[in-house]
Chain A
Amino acid sequence: MSGLSLSLGVGLTRRGGGGGAGIPSIASAVYWGDFSDTSKVSLSSGKITGLANRLGGALTFSQGNSSLQPTYQLASEGNGINGLNTCRFTSATQKLQLNTAVMTNATIIIALRNTANLVSGGIIQSSTDNFAGLFIAAGAGSNQPAGTSDNFVDGVDIANSRQGTLEALTSSPVLWMVRNLDITTWGQSSIGITELFLGAFRNNSTDFAFTGGDMGEIVVMNASSVAEQNALGAYLSEKWGTATWTDVS
C-alpha cells in the first residue's frame, strides 16, 4: 500500500499508510476491522453504523442507535491517522458493539489516538460493566480484570494501572494490546460475555465515558501465539505510523 493514492468515491480517498509489508496471516483472528478499508464501513450521514469483518462472516461492530454512532474521519479532509481513514468517538456515549463468541484467552490489538487528551475513559468494555484499557489520572485499581491478562503499548509492557494506561495514550497514535483476557469471567457473570463495546465504557449499567479519540484498526484473536502478536504488531505499526513495535515474549 506504500504511496498508494486511490480514489474511492466522493470525498473518500485511501492513501498513505506506511510500509510495504503484506498483511500477515493470523490464524487465531476471529474479527479484524479496518476503518481505512472503506469497503467494510457502512455509513449514515457521516456516522458509522457498522464495520464488517475483513475475514468475512457476520461478526460486525455496529451501532443501531443514531445518538451513539461515532463519526467517520476522512484522510482526504486532513483527518484520520497516517493518511488513513479512522473512526472518531467524540461524545460521551458513542460506541460500537460487537456480538462475539465467548473466548477464554482473547487478545485484542487496536490502533488508536487519544485526540481529546482526556484524563478519563475506556478503550473497550464488556456488556456487564467491566472493561479493559480504562484510564483515569491517579485512579485506583487496575485497568482491566484481575488475572493473567496483561497489556502493552507498541509492544512495551505497561503498568496494569489506570494511570499507567493514561500516560501511554498520547495524542500520537499507538498500538494498544491486551492479551490473555478470559472473557468468560470478565463480567463476573456465569453466562460469560457476549458483547464487546468499543469506545465507551459502562458503570452502574449506564454509558458515561469514552475513549475520546480516533481508532484505526482492531483485531480480536482467540488463543493467539506470540509470533502472531508480533507479526501483527509489526504490520500495524508500519501501517498506522506508530512507534516501531517492540517484540513481546
Chain B
Amino acid sequence: MKIMEFTTQALAQSCADAIDALAVQYWTDQGRTVQDGTLVSWNAATLADDASAPRTLRWATPELSPEGTWWFTSLVGTDYEPAMAGLREAHIFTERDMPAWGSDP
C-alpha cells in the first residue's frame, strides 16, 4: 500500500482538502448523491440511497507518523488515481510503501 507523506500537518491537510474537493466533483459526475459535501451511502439490500446511514465524509485524516511526518493513504490504485498527477504538481509530498511502523507493539 502506498502512502503520501508530508513534512507538516498543514501541508497534509491542504492536500487532503484538495482531494475532498476533487472527490465531490467526481461523485457528482458519477451521478451520486452529495449532501453538504458528503457522499450518501446506499443500502445493500435495497440499493437505494439511505440518507440516514453513515456517509463518506472525506478521503483521509492526516496522521502523525512515528518519524514525525504526516501521512495518509495514496490515491494510487484507486478510482481517484488520475488526480495524482495534479496533486504532485500542486502539493509537496513524497510517495512510498507504507512502512512497518511499530510492528510489534
What residues make up the interface of A, taking CB atoms closer than 8 Å to B? 8-10, 12, 38-39, 41-45, 47, 49-50, 52, 60, 62-69, 72, 85, 91-93, 120, 129, 131, 134, 136, 139-140, 201, 203-209
Given contacts A9-B47, A136-B104, A209-B103, contact A42 B54 (CB under 8 A): yes
Given contacts A49-B53, A49-B55, A64-B56, contact A204 B44 (CB under 8 A): no
Given contacts A67-B73, A129-B105, contact A49 B41 (CB under 8 A): yes
Contact between chains at A65 and B44 (CB < 8 Å) = no
> For chains A and B in complex, what number of residue pairs have CB atoms within 8 angstroms?
116
The residue that B53 contacts in the complex, of A45, A50, A136, A207, with Cβ under 8 A, is A50
Specify which chain A residues have a CB less than 8 angstroms from the CB of B100 in the assembled complex. Answer: 208
- Interface of chain B, helix or strand or loop or mixed? loop
What residues make up the interface of B, taking CB atoms closer than 8 Å to A? 1, 23, 38-39, 41-47, 50, 53-61, 63-66, 72-73, 78-79, 98, 100-105
Contact between chains at B101 and A203 (CB < 8 Å) = yes
13 further interface pairs, Cβ-Cβ under 8 Å (given A12-B47, A49-B56, A120-B103): A39-B46, A43-B43, A50-B54, A64-B58, A65-B56, A65-B57, A67-B72, A67-B73, A68-B73, A129-B105, A134-B105, A204-B66, A206-B65
Contact between chains at A208 and B102 (CB < 8 Å) = yes
Shortest distance from the beta carbon of B21 to any chain A beta carbon, whole Å: 14
Contact between chains at B60 and A65 (CB < 8 Å) = yes
Contact between chains at A9 and B98 (CB < 8 Å) = no
The residue that B57 contacts in the complex, of A52, A64, A134, A139, with Cβ under 8 A, is A64
Given contacts A131-B105, A203-B102, contact A38 B44 (CB under 8 A): yes
Contact between chains at A205 and B64 (CB < 8 Å) = yes
Contact between chains at B43 and A42 (CB < 8 Å) = yes
Contact between chains at B41 and A44 (CB < 8 Å) = yes
